[in-house]
Chains A and B, each alone.
Chain A
Amino acid sequence: MPVNEEFKPTIVAFCCNWCSYAGADLSGTNRLQYPANVKIIRIPCSCRLNPMFILRAFQRGADGVILCGCHPGDCHYTTGNYYARRRMTLLFSMLDFLGIERERTRVEWVSAAEGAKFAATMNDFSATIHKLGPNRRLEDLRCRKD
């Protein structure tokens, strides 16, 4: 790997179809900038996020994983994000317990109207991961590209 090449974090953003995915769309139509290395994956509800998806993303080379869903109380399926919230809290806590940097995972509630919040969140998250450097503690050496 060339020494001077700047580190560009790979960020996987899981976005709820009913809010954050539309929010990302809105930030695009508003010409708001957010880093191109944020890879958005659409899911039907934040509750669809199997915790294993997060581990899988880290395995395949993600440096940070963020989940975006509807604000609690606004879930398209009424209660999905309440369950997701408990699950993610415990999963993040466990990752932290294992010594994985706690800044690498995040949950943010972004509605379909919050295009600006989406862009700001992604910029902020990307900057945080940039400071942290590449994910080395939860990577799969077999999946390393360099």
Chain B
Amino acid sequence: MQERLKQKAIQLLENGTVDRILGWKTGEFFYDLTPAVFTTREQIEKDFVFNVFSGANLSKYLIAESRKGGKIAAFIKPCDSYSFQQLLKEHRIWRDNVFVVGVQCDGMCDAAKLGDGVLSVKEDGENLIVETLYGEKTVAKADALADRCASCKSKKIVIFDELIGEQGEETENDRFGEVARLEAMTPEERYEFWRGELSRCIRCNACRNVCPACSCEKCVFDNANSGVRNKAAADSFEENMFHIIRAFHVTGRCTDCGECSRVCPQNIPLHLLNRKMIKDINELYGEYQAGADMDTKPPLTNYTVDDCEPSIVHERGGL
């Protein structure tokens, strides 16, 4: 797969379709791939990487990149394509300056699931050959899948100019199991659960910075008067409010790409807040998948006369 992507990138550069390529390169560690822009054949041959750790969603980078003049090609996986289309819908990306190469995705892996002392990982069909400090082992790819990929919502690439690999279909995975488990708890248990999770927050703002839906040029958290600007966690309220506001700001626009939880250095399951909102929207206002098309009105900029009353939250006992 990596070779096919490299060849495509070089071909696009050399036939003049684009003058830049947005892809991945190795970051601090081999399993820590970071988005990168390539401009020459040499760079691509040397640094371009695509493997089971290419989880980073490239669509957000296109907001800035598409405005720089010239044309850029980006490799977009199925869940990135939802984010990309959502951003297009919000007029954030200049479509004419972007050439989208859709890439088939079989799920990305979580390096933390491979155990300690991992030196390198090689793909071998359905298995990963993991070389560690303590010798070589074989791990089934399915066992190392990132949580968000284990409950993948769709393998369909909703928008592309060219496709590498196969077009997939929306999947029938149950994404809301964990949300339902929390809903079944008492408010006290839920509060304890979230206190435990959110109190670990160090306010690094990584979730905000990586989120494709969080792309306002002027962010509320940079506003000194917001009461939540501080970059250090000050007390319990700070993290609570930060995450409530953030989850609410992306409600109806979140495509459930799961990047927030992937980048969280404290492993807070932030996607659960977003999924709760998606679940509520689906149940109360009809099925809605952000980024799935260009026409449907987002649920929060729409209404019907017969919408439920907010008291439904009390009546249904926590939805």
The residues of A with any CB-CB pair to B shorter than 8 Å are 51-52, 55-56, 59, 72-73, 79, 82-83, 85-103, 105-107, 137-142
Contacts and interface: CB of A to CB of B under 8 A. Distances in A.
Contact of B194 (A82, A93, A99, A102): A99
Contact of B314 (A72, A73, A86, A103): A103
A107 B305 contact: no
Interface in B188-203: 188-195
B300 A90 contact: yes
A82 B273 contact: no
Nearest to A87: B300
Interface of B is mostly: helix
Given A51-B248, A93-B280, A99 B311 contact: no
19 contacts: A59-B227, A73-B305, A82-B303, A89-B308, A90-B251, A92-B310, A93-B319, A97-B182, A97-B318, A98-B191, A98-B240, A99-B190, A99-B193, A99-B194, A101-B187, A106-B310, A107-B309, A138-B241, A140-B227
B88 interface: no
B73 interface: no
Nearest to A108: B311
Given A98-B194, A100-B191, A141-B237, A92 B313 contact: yes
Nearest to A101: B187
A58 to B, nearest CB: 8
B204 interface: no
Nearest to B182: A97
Nearest to A141: B235
Given A89-B309, A89-B310, A90-B300, A96 B236 contact: no
Nearest to A109: B309
A95 B313 CA distance: 10
A33 to B, nearest CB: 25
